[in-house]
């Protein structure tokens, strides 16, 4: 079933004299329960695309539908409520509140949705167990490793059972071991919980955990590959092939 439908969206920056087309007529669909990765070099427009989908930024033209609701038409207050009720975020720099413990950070996502305090504890503990962070729940962000922080952020993103989880370079600030652990967690969430995940990355290794990879170059879709029945290793090699085709500047990020 189609969850997210993106129709001819465009995003321009600057004035008429010096126009930058960050996103230039992109259309694609994401189905329920899919794990999609969006790849591209720096400046290719992938983060702009994610920001448009997450309603943090506004599109210049085109429409984005989440379950037949046009989110480009949302305004002011509706935006925050929409994000709160439908989306889960995982950021490169974790975006945890440094004044709160891991537990409180995760609980915050629920308490702002006015979930009763009784239900919060069981939900937080369940999510923490799934992501293997039970033992750090009472620690503050500065007491945790990067991988732990990112898994706390992931727990916060999934705990509200959002329709779509958006991850912006989630492994960007992690060492390879932590990155691997996080990506495994994400794919487990995807397969076991049927969570729909959209991940922006320039790292082919991260992208190989997805089921589908969309490549973007200069604001346009360059190509798209499906994992299908291939093993992760084979899929990874295929991604590398496309990157080679795409041009040198992404490969240096591998």
Interface segment toward other proteins; rule CB under 8 A; list 16-24, 25-33, 103-111, 204-212:
103-111
Interacting residues with other proteins between 38 and 77 (CB under 8 A): 54, 56, 76-77
How long, in residues, is the chain? 254
CB atoms < 10 A from the CB of 93, how many? 13
For position 173 contacting other proteins by CB under 8 A, the verdict is no
Q: Which is nearer to other proteins, 9 or 120 (CB)?
A: 120
For position 120 contacting other proteins by CB under 8 A, the verdict is yes
Taken in order 218, 7, 30, 224, the sign of the CA dihedral is negative
For position 161 contacting other proteins by CB under 8 A, the verdict is no
Number of residues that bind other proteins (CB under 8 A): 34
Burial of 182 (0-12, 13-18, 19+ CB in 10 A): buried
Question: In the chain, which residue ranges form alpha helices assigned H by DSSP?
Answer: 46-53, 76-86, 102-111, 117-131, 146-159, 176-193, 204-207, 232-246, 248-251
Residue 56 token pair: 């943090």
For position 250 contacting other proteins by CB under 8 A, the verdict is no
For position 85 contacting other proteins by CB under 8 A, the verdict is yes
- Note the residues at the interface with other proteins (CB under 8 A): 54, 56, 76-77, 80-85, 87, 89, 91, 95-100, 104, 107-112, 114, 117, 120-121, 140-142, 156
């Amino acid at each position: 079933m189609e969850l997210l439908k993106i129709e001819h969206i465009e995003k321009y920056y600057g004035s008429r004299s010096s126009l930058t087309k960050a996103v230039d007529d992109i259309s694609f669909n994401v189905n329920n329960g899919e794990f999609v990765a969006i790849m591209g070099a720096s400046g290719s427009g992938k983060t702009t695309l994610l920001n448009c989908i997450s309603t943090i930024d506004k599109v210049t033209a085109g429409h984005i539908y989440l379950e037949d609701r046009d989110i480009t038409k949302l305004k002011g207050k509706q935006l925050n409520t929409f994000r709160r009720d439908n989306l889960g975020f995982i950021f490169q720099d974790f975006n945890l509140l440094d004044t709160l413990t891991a537990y409180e950070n995760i609980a915050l996502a629920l308490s702002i949705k006015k979930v009763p305090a009784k239900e919060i504890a069981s939900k937080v503990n369940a999510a923490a167990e799934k992501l293997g962070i039970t033992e750090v729940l009472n620690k503050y962000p500065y007491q945790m490793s990067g991988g732990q922080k990112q898994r706390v952020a992931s727990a916060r993103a999934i705990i509200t059972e959002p329709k779509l989880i958006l991850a912006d370079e989630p492994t960007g600030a992690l060492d390879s071991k932590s990155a691997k652990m996080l990506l495994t967690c994400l794919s487990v969430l995807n397969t076991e919980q049927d969570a729909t995940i959209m991940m922006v990355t320039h790292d082919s290794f991260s992208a190989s955990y997805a089921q589908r990879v969309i490549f973007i170059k200069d604001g346009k879709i360059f190509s798209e590959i499906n994992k299908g029945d291939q093993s992760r290793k084979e899929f990874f090699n295929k991604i590398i092939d496309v990157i080679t085709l795409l041009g040198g500047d992404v490969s240096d990020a591998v």
